[in-house]
Amino acid sequence: MQAYPKHYCGVFGIYGHPKAAELTYYGLYALQHRGQESAGIVTCHDGAFYDRRAMGLVPQVFGAEHLDRLKGEMAVGHTRYSTTGSSLAGNAQPIIVDCNRGKIAIAHNGNLTNAATLRDELEAQGNIFQTTVDSEIILHLLAQPSPPGHRNTLVESIRRIEGAFSLVIMTPNELIGVRDPHGFRPLSIGRVDGAYVLSSETCAFDLIEAEFVRDVKPGEIVIIDQNGFRSIDAFPLHRRRALCVFEFVYFARPDSNLAGRNVYASRVEMGRQLAREHPIEADMVVPVPDSGNYAALGYALESGIPYQMAFVRNHYVGRSFLQPSQLIRDFNVKVKLNLVHDLVRGKRVITVDDSIVRGTTSKARVNSLKEAGAKEVHVLVSCPPHTFPCVYGIDFPDRSKLMAANSTNQEICEYLNADSLSYLSQEGMIQATGLPKNSFCTACYDGKYPVPYDPKVDKHIMERRRSEVQSLGQVVSEQERQGRFI
């Protein structure tokens, strides 16, 4: 069972570069941590769109022969983990539509909270959906003809959607970046060789040697075309900001900057704050690689307890289709992390991880330490307990599957077989970022959702999507046999 929340998605776009496809490939490579199920690139050359979308990691999806066929000086790219919608080749992005407004391609990071309502409305008008992802809803809104006496502008379409969305949109003439008014998901602007670049994270700029310009502001639409760069404030009266704080805790790469703050430094400070809030007498601090490395370093620096990399990560682990649970106990944990037994034997050990969602792998790690002879095992977590699901694009399960929502701290500690269990406070987590409390969405910790949602509607959309996925799966299988996604 997956013990960590799945990432959401990574988006990338470039305008005005002769090697747009190649740079987009490298940009997606840098954003691979944000999605590992599918990847896609769409380019534009003389008004024609060229695309390659498939299941798999970026280097598995794209070879030199694919990039050679992706012509043009403008491109959008996407790497995906499924949130709304299923993990199918037909749901791979960027999604393309050819409508009365011309061709449009879109890459979306986030999750719409009013997707069910909008989809029902659009289907009632005769719109036919080809995927189960809510990103296609945005395309249908953009493609609608203007009603008499009104203009169906980009701004009006964007104002109709609610929830989390960072978008990169491409037409034959322009590249567009959009960020929702709360700023749930990051999106940044860069420049390389005179070309403009849009990316979910700044680490992609480092790889392609682009210069960071600034973040796309919450509620901003940026339009890049032959006339240069222009900006539209689509939500001028909106002031509430809600960047997902879990970006700092876990999702973003440590070499990225979010809202002007370095992720690496924030995670180290979370570890320092953990040491202030929960001092423990121990012989070593052991991180859970890779997500716990920086908070563990901070704890060690603040406490003076030695930092030891007792867990060794296997970096070549892909998906496992064989689950030999009867042959090797805790296979899924051991294949990813192996323990240096001699380091921990007879020692009091502190392990630092970024989160505990279901607790299954944490329990296996504690047992591994004790079986190796650790005298004590203390579990520290560099964020508060997750007690509410995320409706903005993270694959946190419903409350019934969130361990901290259904068990006390003592019960979780006993389940893990740990000697103690402590979480970083919400105040300490936010303080470590160096940003004001009102900058963040913390709904997965406290249930305070910046954009209200109706759980009944959410249930309705999930039930309907299950039936859609079954029928779509048959269509996709036929398309794969015909080579459409090969």
Structure tokens at 90: 């037909």
42 contacts 56 by C-beta, under 8 angstroms: no
**Angle of the 426-433 helix axis to the 263-277 helix axis, nearest 10:** 140
256, 262, 268, 274 alpha-carbon torsion, rounded to 10°? -110
378 contacts 418 by C-beta, under 8 angstroms: yes
Q: Model confidence at 466, in pLDDT bands (50, 70, 90)?
A: very low
Whether the predicted pLDDT of 256 surpasses 50: yes
Q: Is 60 exposed, middle or buried (0-12, 13-18, 19+ CB in 10 A)?
A: exposed
73 contacts 18 by C-beta, under 8 angstroms: yes
Closest CA to 433 of 293, 295, 278, 280: 295
Closest CA to 187 of 161, 168, 171, 160: 168
**Helix spans in 286-425 (H):** 293-303, 331-334, 341-344, 360-371, 403-406, 409-416
| Beta carbons within 10 angstroms of residue 1's beta carbon | 9
Q: Is 186 exposed, middle or buried (0-12, 13-18, 19+ CB in 10 A)?
A: buried
How many residues appear in the chain?
A: 486
Backbone angles phi, psi at 279, to 5 degrees: -70, 135
Please tell me if the domain spanning 9-239+468-481 has the same topology as the one spanning 263-434: no
User: Lowest-pLDDT range, 77-81, 241-245, 251-255, 322-326?
Assistant: 322-326
Q: Which of 9, 44, 383, 413 is catalytic?
A: 9
Whether the predicted pLDDT of 485 surpasses 50: no
> Per-residue pLDDT tens for 58-82?
999 999 999 999 999 999 999 987 5
pLDDT of residue 334: 67
Cα first-last separation, the chain: 30
Q: Is the peptide bond before 389 cis (omega within 30 degrees of 0)?
A: no
User: Lowest-pLDDT range, 147-156, 382-391, 456-465?
Assistant: 456-465
- Domain assignments of the chain as residue spans, ordered by start: 9-239+468-481, 263-434
- Return the beta strands (E) in 16-101 as ranges: 38-45, 48-55, 74-80, 95-99
135, HSE (Cβ side, Cα atoms, 13 Å): 34
347, HSE (Cβ side, Cα atoms, 13 Å): 21
pLDDT of residue 150: 59
pLDDT of residue 100: 75
pLDDT of residue 83: 47
Distance CA 241, CA 439 (A): 5
Distance CA 180, CA 465 (A): 24
Residue 6, by phi and psi: left (phi above 0), alpha (psi -120 to 50) or beta? Answer: beta
> Per-residue pLDDT tens for 189-247?
999 999 999 999 999 999 999 999 999 999 999 999 999 999 999 999 998 999 999 99
Please report, for residues 243, 253, 390, 402, the alpha-carbon distance to residue 445 in angstroms, rounded to integers and kept in the order given: 14, 22, 9, 11
The whole-chain average pLDDT of the chain stands at: 86
Please report, for residues 57, 366, 368, 408, the alpha-carbon distance to residue 412 in angstroms, rounded to integers and kept in the order given: 35, 12, 17, 6
Reported pTM: 0.87
Distance CA 183, CA 119 (A): 23
Please report, for residues 269, 290, 305, 419, the alpha-carbon distance to residue 308 in angstroms, rounded to integers and kept in the order given: 18, 13, 9, 19
Active site residue 9: yes
Fold of 9-239+468-481: Glutamine Phosphoribosylpyrophosphate, subunit 1, domain 1 (3.60.20)
Q: Model confidence at 132, in pLDDT bands (50, 70, 90)?
A: confident
Whether the predicted pLDDT of 313 surpasses 90: no
**259 Cβ contact partners less than 8 Å away, ≥ 6 residues apart:** 186, 215, 243, 435, 439
Structure tokens at 188: 């940044």
User: Lowest-pLDDT range, 13-27, 166-180, 386-400?
Assistant: 386-400
Distance CA 223, CA 245 (A): 28
> Per-residue pLDDT tens for 330-371?
566 667 788 999 999 999 999 999 999 888 889 999 999 999
> Per-residue pLDDT tens for 110-123?
989 898 889 888 88
Q: Which string of b and e fits 101-135 if b means at least 16 CB within 10 Å?
A: eebbbbbbbbbbbbbbbbbeebeeeebeeebbbbb
Classify 179 as helix, strand or coil: strand
- Parallel/antiparallel/unpaired status of strands 376-381 and 420-423: parallel
- Classify domain 263-434 by CATH number: 3.40.50.2020
Distance CA 140, CA 106 (A): 11
Closest CA to 176 of 232, 93, 242: 232
